[in-house]
Amino acid sequence: MRYNSRIKYANWSRIIKIICRVLALMLAMTVSGHSVATKQSAISFSDKQSRTAREVIQRLSRNHYKDKEFGDELSSTLFDQYLINLDPGKSFFTQADVNRFETYRFSLDDQLKKGDLSPGYKIFERYRELLTERLEKNLDRLPMLVPNFDYTKNDVLETDRSELPWPANQKEADALWYKRIKASALNLRLADKTNEEIQTILSKRFENQILRLNQMNSQDVFQVFLNSLAQLYDPHTSYLSPRNSENFNINMSLSLEGIGAVLQREEEFTKVVRLVPAGPADKSGNLQPADRIIAVGQGDSEEMVNVVGWRLDEVVEMIRGPKGTKVRLEIIPAHAAADDVHEIITIVRNKVKLEEQSAKSSIIELVKNDELHRIGVIDVPTFYIDFDARRRGDPNYKSTTKDVQRLIDELEAQEVSGIVIDLRDNGGGSLYEANALTRLFIDSGPTVQIRHANSRVDREPRSSYRGAHYTGPMVVLINRLSASASEIFAAAIQDYDRGLVLGGRSFGKGTVQSLTQLTEGHLKLTESKFYRVSGGSTQHKGVIPDIEFPELYDADQVGESALDYALSWDTIHAVQHQHYYALDDNLPSLIEQHQRRVKDDPDFIYLREQIALLNKSRARTKVSLNEQERRQQRKDDKAAQLALENKRRKLKGLDILASLDETDNDETASAPATDPSASTESNEETDPFLQEAGQILLDSQPIFQAIVSRTPVGRTLPIR
């Protein structure tokens, strides 16, 4: 069973846990069976890779926004990070191996500057040796282990080993792997697999991991080693091999036919970062951000291929395909309390057309003081512009700003009381469009400051534009996935006191990257940073709403602040800008009205209690290997979800459910297991966040009646 939980005006917002990091490349566990070939040839680096490494170090030192010397301190951090990137679960290396490598800790900088990559390759060779030995040992032990696992014991497996030490020796490593294999077997047992099926599946995984290990080449090692260095500067700086250069920012539908999902590696899993608006996955409603893809199948009947541990580019190639064809994905849903919860979904591949990502408008009707009000809503899924058509002089070129301007005119013709600009899930896009869109709502002045690595500060736009297109009441709705260009727009509206910003704290991606050609591959490098007109950066902190709604995301897992080595928040000088309305002065009253309204609202009650359940699930750092305990945990989780859903339904006068399965055929049902703000009374679903944004807009109408002051103010504005 899969629930569509998108929170837009016609649907519910997805529970999206995050955007994560990194370029850690684990090796593969698949389910195709072949004979195991263990003979391995030595891997060495080339002269081209030596020159490329020196180029990367030179560019990082000279051009990266962060002035960071590659010396002994960074060499030591690189040493630790490279080991973790090779073995994120701390299950192959032992402390004895780490001690053996210690001679490299403070010399990596000196050797890399000379183009000597031998330390990285020697460490990898030991890793490959240990991995091969471990996998062969696992294969030998499976026939004995699987039938004899005692699932009545109260064993537990630590799921987060990041703060734990490396196994002291092979005996400790053996004990760890015993639990890892038992956990995998129990997950399959809970999925109703027999012992014979469990042994076959696990054998295929280990056999194919050995095969894939033998296929590793110098380019794979080189990429892991260089990215271990690049990520120490910031999470958006990375080395792209010639192969991965083709998949820059891997967006599988804007340039190639696919499902329209942006993917990223997280330890051994392929995780969904976000969905491309109007893409096949987005339209299906079956795939959600933070879902983990564990297997891929072609068409309706081809065998599912396990992709746990695969390289990102390999998973992407499997998912891509011709328009109109089907791909099946086996996923661990974002809301799953344990890794044994699997779902198989089918998506038809297609391309995303620009017009399908266009801004769209709608009207919601609300009652205040017994009077009916119409609120205009403009959904902006991304900041887009057809640069080619614009350069050709086509007066009808497509852009966010042109579309929003037309929608504003249409809404005003329908006499709306105000407008909500909905930027939820908007991951950014064109900086030019973010600036242009802001100018529809303010008379003049810059919208963003850009500070470069050489400390030069540019202000955009550079020329003055007078006369706002829309001067009526407005609010901006954001969430944790509102990033980059969305943050620039929301921050400018907030700094000018032109409108209220509502929702959840934004992502906090306030940096700019460039792509540089190298002798071999490319370097994606952070070269500048965004700052608000009030002086604070959008980096790390993001935009903090004037009125915050219950947060769907765990800030420790989602957003820029959750990424290792993210650049910090700081300030530069504010610039003179206008101050339109006395919004700050009236915030306490608006917040009080909001809190009074949502205190007894069934959807907000459900949301708060659902978040508490999710936080309880997130706090689990150990998984039980006791079968009865695991089955009871699953039963309890479902019962808690059902109780929450029925509490909400009772408050809304809806039918009570006997089981969550009833929601499949219940037109009035929402998404109890995945969506903490679900609520529908008919096929015309309502969005509680959007409804409340409209109510706050009505509350603030008197404030928008009078412009208080258009006298430019400078550095006295508070930085939120």
User: Residue 324 sits in a domain of what CATH number?
Assistant: 2.30.42.10
- Establish how many alpha carbons lie within 13 A of residue 33's alpha carbon, considering only the half-sphere containing its beta carbon: 7
Query: Residues of the chain with pLDDT > 70: what percent?
Result: 84
Give the pLDDT band of residue 355 (cuts 50, 70, 90).
Answer: low
Peptide bond into 461 cis (omega under 30): yes
Confidence at residue 682, expressed as pLDDT on a 0 to 100 scale: 36
Query: Which of 65-69, 139-143, 489-493 is predicted with the least confidence, judged by mean pLDDT?
Result: 65-69
Residue tagged 């409108």 (tokens) = 499
Per-residue pLDDT of 359-392, as tens digits, reads 999 999 999 989 999 999 999 999 988 888 888 8
The reply to whether 423 and 503 lie within a common domain is yes
Give the pLDDT band of residue 132 (cuts 50, 70, 90).
Answer: very high
577: Cβ–Cβ under 8 A, 6 or more apart, which residues? 445, 446, 495, 496, 533, 534, 712, 713, 717
Which amino acid, 368? K
The reply to whether 338 and 223 lie within a common domain is no
Query: Within a domain: residue 609?
Result: no
Query: Within a domain: residue 415?
Result: yes
Please state the rounded mean pLDDT for residues 238-257. 58
Query: Within a domain: residue 563?
Result: yes
Sign (positive or negative) of CA dihedral 348, 353, 356, 357: positive
Q: State which of 582, 597, 630 marks the end of a domain.
A: 582
The reply to whether 492 and 510 lie within a common domain is yes
What positions carry a catalytic annotation?
A: 484, 495, 509
Number of domain units in the chain: 3
Please state the rounded mean pLDDT for residues 595-621. 88
E strand segments, 434-484: 448-452, 457-460, 474-478
Query: Within a domain: residue 592?
Result: no
Instruction: For residue 465, list its beta bridge partners.
Output: none
Residue 559 pLDDT > 90? no
- Reduced to 3 states (helix: H, G, I; strand: E, B; else coil), residue 428 is coil
Please state the rounded mean pLDDT for residues 137-142. 95
Phi, psi for residue 331 in degrees, rounded to 5 = -125, 155
* Alpha-carbon span 447 to 450, nearest angstrom: 10
The reply to whether 222 and 258 lie within a common domain is no
Query: Within a domain: residue 134?
Result: yes
The reply to whether 298 and 380 lie within a common domain is no
The reply to whether 337 and 383 lie within a common domain is no
Per-residue pLDDT of 270-329, as tens digits, reads 888 778 777 888 888 888 877 889 889 999 888 888 887 677 777 888 898 888 899 999
157: Cβ–Cβ under 8 A, 6 or more apart, which residues? 179, 180, 182, 183, 622, 623, 625
Per-residue pLDDT of 387-442, as tens digits, reads 888 888 888 888 999 999 999 999 999 999 999 999 998 988 899 999 999 999 99
Query: Within a domain: residue 301?
Result: yes
Query: Residues of the chain with pLDDT > 90: what percent?
Result: 55
Give the pLDDT band of residue 466 (cuts 50, 70, 90).
Answer: low
Confidence at residue 654, expressed as pLDDT on a 0 to 100 scale: 87
Per-residue pLDDT of 151-207, as tens digits, reads 999 999 998 888 899 999 999 999 999 999 999 999 999 989 999 999 998 998 888
The reply to whether 424 and 565 lie within a common domain is yes
- Establish how many alpha carbons lie within 13 A of residue 164's alpha carbon, considering only the half-sphere containing its beta carbon: 20
The reply to whether 447 and 547 lie within a common domain is yes
The reply to whether 340 and 368 lie within a common domain is no
Residue 613 pLDDT > 90? no
Confidence at residue 235, expressed as pLDDT on a 0 to 100 scale: 93
Q: State which of 542, 557, 582 marks the end of a domain.
A: 582
Phi, psi for residue 128 in degrees, rounded to 5 = -65, -40
Residue 37 pLDDT > 80? no
* Alpha-carbon span 318 to 315, nearest angstrom: 5
The reply to whether 287 and 185 lie within a common domain is no
Residue 663 pLDDT > 80? no
User: Residue 321 belongs to what domain range?
Assistant: 254-348
The reply to whether 196 and 264 lie within a common domain is no
Query: Over the range 342-364, which residues count as b (16 or more CB within 10 Å of their CB) and which as e?
Result: beebebebbebeeebbbbbbbeb
Residue 709 pLDDT > 90? no
More confident residue, 690 or 653: 690
* Alpha-carbon span 329 to 306, nearest angstrom: 10
Please state the rounded mean pLDDT for residues 248-276. 66
According to DSSP H, which parts of 3-107 are helical? 47-63, 72-86, 95-101
The reply to whether 338 and 420 lie within a common domain is no
More confident residue, 243 or 506: 506
CA 651 to chain centre: 33
Q: State which of 292, 313, 348 marks the end of a domain.
A: 348
Residue 713 pLDDT > 60? no
State the chain's mean pLDDT as an integer: 84
Query: Within a domain: residue 340?
Result: yes
Residue 670 pLDDT > 80? no
CATH code: domain of residue 467? 3.90.226.10
Query: Which of 194-208, 229-243, 352-366, 446-460 is predicted with the least confidence, judged by mean pLDDT?
Result: 352-366
Query: Within a domain: residue 588?
Result: no
Confidence at residue 91, expressed as pLDDT on a 0 to 100 scale: 93
Give the pLDDT band of residue 218 (cuts 50, 70, 90).
Answer: very high
Instruction: For residue 517, list its beta bridge partners.
Output: 522
Confidence at residue 335, expressed as pLDDT on a 0 to 100 scale: 67
Sign (positive or negative) of CA dihedral 199, 202, 207, 210: negative
Give the pLDDT band of residue 352 (cuts 50, 70, 90).
Answer: low
Instruction: For residue 44, list its beta bridge partners.
Output: none
